[in-house]
Amino acid sequence: MGAVLEVKDMGIRFGGLVALDGVNIDVPEWEIVGLIGPNGAGKTTLFNCVMGLYQPNNGTVQYRGRDISLLPTHRKVALGIGRTWQNIGLVRELSVLENLLLAQHPRIRYGALAAIFGSPSTFLEERRLRANAMEVLDFLGLAHLADSKLDGLPYGTLKLIEIGTVLATDPDVVLLDEPSSGMGPDEAHAFGERLIRLRQELNLTVLMIEHHVPLVTEVCDYVYVLNFGKVLTHGKPKEVQRHPEVIAAYLGGDVEADTSEEPADATS
Amino acid sequence: MSAGAETLQAPVATPDASGRWRPSTQGWVARGLVATILVGLLLLWILPSKNLAADRISNAVIFAIIGLSLNIVMGYTGQVSLGHHAFVGIGAFASAYYVTEKAHCTEASCSMPAFFTGVFIAIAIGAISAGILGLIALRIKGLYLALITLTYGFVAVNSIFEIQFLTRGGSGMPAPRPEEFASDRSYMFLCIAILGLLLFIDWRLVSSKVGRAILAVKHSESVAATYAVNVTNYKVFAFMLSGAFAGLAGALFAHRRTIVVGVDFTFQIALLWVLMVVVGGLGKRLGVVIGSMFFALFPFLVTKIGPLDHFIRNTMERDPDEFTLVMGPLLALLTLVQFKGGIAEQISPITRWLSGQRFSMHPEGHKPKEPGGLKKKLRGKENTGSATAANAAASSASSPSGNPDTSGAGAEPAAESSGSIEAKLRKGVK
């Protein structure tokens, strides 16, 4: 089975700090791949390298067999690689609906000059975008928030809206950075079901950073564990969970100490 | 605490919440009436104006155009330009130079094509010179960029505006008007028509992908890039559009005066333009236009107030023009401290109402309410066994105050707060 996204030998240093070192990750078609690891393991850095927001020192990113390492970020997104942010990548100056319109940017069929001189096609296209955006909001059950500003909305809702915006970019593969943070266990569970449904309906391939262990075991087909910039281990969620090194990395060596001593590094 | 995370739930969509609020027919009639009265008052002011009064309005309209130009840089891209007098001046000299030297127009004979070609050249040169600044803005931001624009302005004043063949030194370059716009009154209508066109462009800018992309870039370049926005292009585009507006304003300014002198474009006036945009309301075109026109008309308004005029002229022995430089910063201070959002924010209840929304004094407009209101919502939560206090804390999740969970680096606040839940879950899984 061909991999949609292949990260090969990715490495980046910030001064003396080796943030990523020889990371290899395959994201096969139609799979939900989890990326877990303690705080500071380099998960978000990896996302930034894949998206081209950081310039890695070495390594390549291949998208459907094509080397896209050197493409600028916006071109990668236009190709179909969507990404969400750990601390919410929404534009506060815009309303919920406008954020979803912004997200459809790569697919807008009018030019900048046509837009500012008010060509009729702009109005038609904007109407179509609006309909698309409402469809996404309806799907997420947020239609009633379309016209509201982002300020004052609960964190979990913002996370959900962000999922909406990344869907609106019409992605082929999405990189989700802790999608369930700010959600309670019930919501996280509901989110997991929604994610599986999304994959079914939109043919999505997903690479996601996630700390919510039940969610990872529930939805992920495959899990990579990152620790100190290296892939510690990878495999099916159940296998990874029992891997002694993973438990050590997460719980600081003591497997049974999960009631009183909450691992401080499990949450960044 | 187990309820804490649950209250972060997304509000549930209600079937009857889908329709937006729309005014009734009477409501629309009332809005139409008020709008007619406002437009009527404006026309009553503009239409009878002749000569000096018309010239004053032209000046105010040109200020409004400059305000719109600065608003693109300051309101939309979030940068400060202290060198806008350079772009306006370059536009003014470009148009005057073309009309006088290349098209050989004189006061008596100036054709429409020559005039408009001059204006277009001013627009193009304004756009190009601001585009250079945009390229710098790709690398430098905020205060440092403001300093660069400041230097840019000084360099322009001391180099370009000193070129003899372009500016004819202190005597100035003539900028004749075509016959059709020879009278101040007809020129005023030209300026108003152009302002109308620019307002339309600004409206389309904001309500299309271009404005959204520029605002996204202002918010965060990385986030904008992940929405496939070409950050470089849109940044330069915004600066070029601003420069085009400024060049156009410069050309109109030149032909209003019919002669351009380098001393018309000073740092003082650039500062005043920045202030008028701030007072008008950053990012709000109507507020910016009102603020700019107010600043332009201010010296005139001062002379209408007898005692103040007497005080400035006789006691202080100053020109009323200079009083703007005192009043401008004061108004800007008031805007920053007391009346946030400037004129635009103060008139926003009216503009929102006129645009077909419910009347509300709340700056953010009418918040969508779920049927039954807050009480019902809270009661609903109680039934499912959550604490209302936690609910209240969660609803203010965006403000760090009183909710230590959300203040932590913005990473994953609730996950930290619901640590015990995670522990339980992990237990359950094992």
State residue A251's pLDDT score. Answer: 67
Strands A58-63 and A222-227 come out as unpaired
Q: For residue A9, give how far its alpha carbon lies from the nearest alpha carbon of chain B (Å).
A: 23
Do residues B297 and B105 make contact, with C-beta atoms less than 8 angstroms apart? no
Nearest to B415 among A73, A148, A211 (CB): A211
- Quick: pLDDT tens for B30-62: 899 999 999 999 999 888 888 888 999 999 999
A1 touches chain B (CB under 8 A): no
Do residues A184 and A212 make contact, with C-beta atoms less than 8 angstroms apart? no
Cα A160 to Cα B11: distance, rounded to the nearest angstrom: 11
Do residues A42 and A226 make contact, with C-beta atoms less than 8 angstroms apart? yes
CB contact under 8 A, B225 and A258: no
- Which token pair is A121? 């096609």
Placement of tokens 């070192």 in the chain? A21
- Closest-CA residue of chain A to B428: A214
Neighbours of B259 (CB within 10 A): 17
Greater model confidence, B19 or A208: A208
- Closest-CA residue of chain A to B411: A87
In 3-state terms, what secondary structure has residue A177? strand
CB contact under 8 A, A106 and B6: no
A155 touches chain B (CB under 8 A): yes
State residue B193's pLDDT score. Answer: 94
Share of residues in chain B with pLDDT > 70 (%): 79
In 3-state terms, what secondary structure has residue A235? strand
A153 touches chain B (CB under 8 A): yes
**The residue type at B352:** R
Do residues A35 and A220 make contact, with C-beta atoms less than 8 angstroms apart? no
For residue B427, what are the CA distances in angstroms to A255, B6, B114, B424? 11, 19, 82, 5
Task: Return the beta strands (E) in A86-229 as ranges.
Answer: 173-177, 205-209, 222-227
pLDDT below 70 — which residues of chain A? Answer: 1, 251-268
Q: Which residues does chain B have within 8 Å of residue A144's beta carbon, measured at their own beta carbons? A: 11, 13-14, 17-18, 368, 370
Placement of tokens 């005192």 in the chain? B326
State residue B364's pLDDT score. Answer: 55
Strands A32-36 and A205-209 come out as parallel
Nearest to B219 among A92, A118, A214 (CB): A92
**What are the CB-based long-range contacts (under 8 Å, 24+) for A113-120?**
A115/B204, A115/B205, A115/B208, A115/B209, A115/B210, A116/B201, A116/B204, A116/B205, A116/B208, A116/B210, A116/B241, A117/B201, A117/B204, A118/B200, A118/B201, A118/B204
**Is B28's pLDDT higher than 60?**
yes
Cα B7 to Cα B403: distance, rounded to the nearest angstrom: 13
State residue B223's pLDDT score. Answer: 92
Nearest to A105 among B207, B229, B283 (CB): B229
B18 touches chain A (CB under 8 A): yes
**What are the CB-based long-range contacts (under 8 Å, 24+) for B117-121?**
B118/B94, B118/B175, B118/B251, B119/B95, B119/B248, B119/B251, B119/B252, B121/B94, B121/B95
**Is B311's pLDDT higher than 80?**
yes
Cα A65 to Cα B107: distance, rounded to the nearest angstrom: 69
Phi, psi of B399 (to 5 degrees): -100, 130
Beta bridge partners of A17: A14
Q: Which residues does chain B have within 8 Å of residue A155's beta carbon, measured at their own beta carbons? A: 8, 397-398, 406, 413-414
A85 touches chain B (CB under 8 A): yes
- Mean predicted confidence (pLDDT) in B74-84: 91
Cα A106 to Cα A101: distance, rounded to the nearest angstrom: 10
Q: Quick one: chain A helix, strand, coil %, rounded to 5?
A: 40, 25, 35
Nearest to B14 among A115, A144, A165 (CB): A144
Question: Would you list the DSSP string of B410-427?
Answer: TS-HHHHHTHHHHHHHHH
**The residue type at B22:** R
Cα B303 to Cα B313: distance, rounded to the nearest angstrom: 9
Where does the pLDDT of residue B411 fall: very low under 50, low under 70, confident under 90, or very high at 90 and above? very low
- Closest-CA residue of chain A to B223: A89
Nearest to B368 among A86, A144, A154 (CB): A144
Q: For residue A155, give how far its alpha carbon lies from the nearest alpha carbon of chain B (Å).
A: 6
Nearest to B227 among A105, A149, A212 (CB): A105
Count of residues making up chain B? 430
Cα A156 to Cα A94: distance, rounded to the nearest angstrom: 18
CB contact under 8 A, A214 and B209: no
Helix (H) or strand (E) holding A237: helix A237-242
Cα B381 to Cα B370: distance, rounded to the nearest angstrom: 14
Cα B89 to Cα B270: distance, rounded to the nearest angstrom: 11
**Is B17's pLDDT higher than 70?**
no
Helix (H) or strand (E) holding A231: strand A230-235
Burial of A79 (0-12, 13-18, 19+ CB in 10 A): middle
A121 touches chain B (CB under 8 A): no
- Mean predicted confidence (pLDDT) in B221-246: 93
**The residue type at B409:** A
Placement of tokens 């107030």 in the chain? B305
Distant-in-sequence, close-in-space partners of A57: CB < 8 Å, separation ≥ 6 = A11, A12, A13
- Which token pair is B279? 């007072």
For residue B36, what are the CA distances in angstroms to B31, B33, B43, B285? 8, 5, 10, 20
In 3D space, the residue among A108, A84, A155, A219 whose CA is nearest the CA of residue B397 turns out to be A155
Cα B8 to Cα A126: distance, rounded to the nearest angstrom: 32
- State the average pLDDT for chain B: 80
- Quick: pLDDT tens for B188-221: 999 999 999 999 999 999 999 999 999 999 999 9
Neighbours of B418 (CB within 10 A): 27
**Is B381's pLDDT higher than 60?**
no
In 3D space, the residue among B273, B350, B346, B352 whose CA is nearest the CA of residue B72 turns out to be B273
A112 touches chain B (CB under 8 A): yes
- Quick: pLDDT tens for B101-122: 888 777 777 888 888 999 999 9
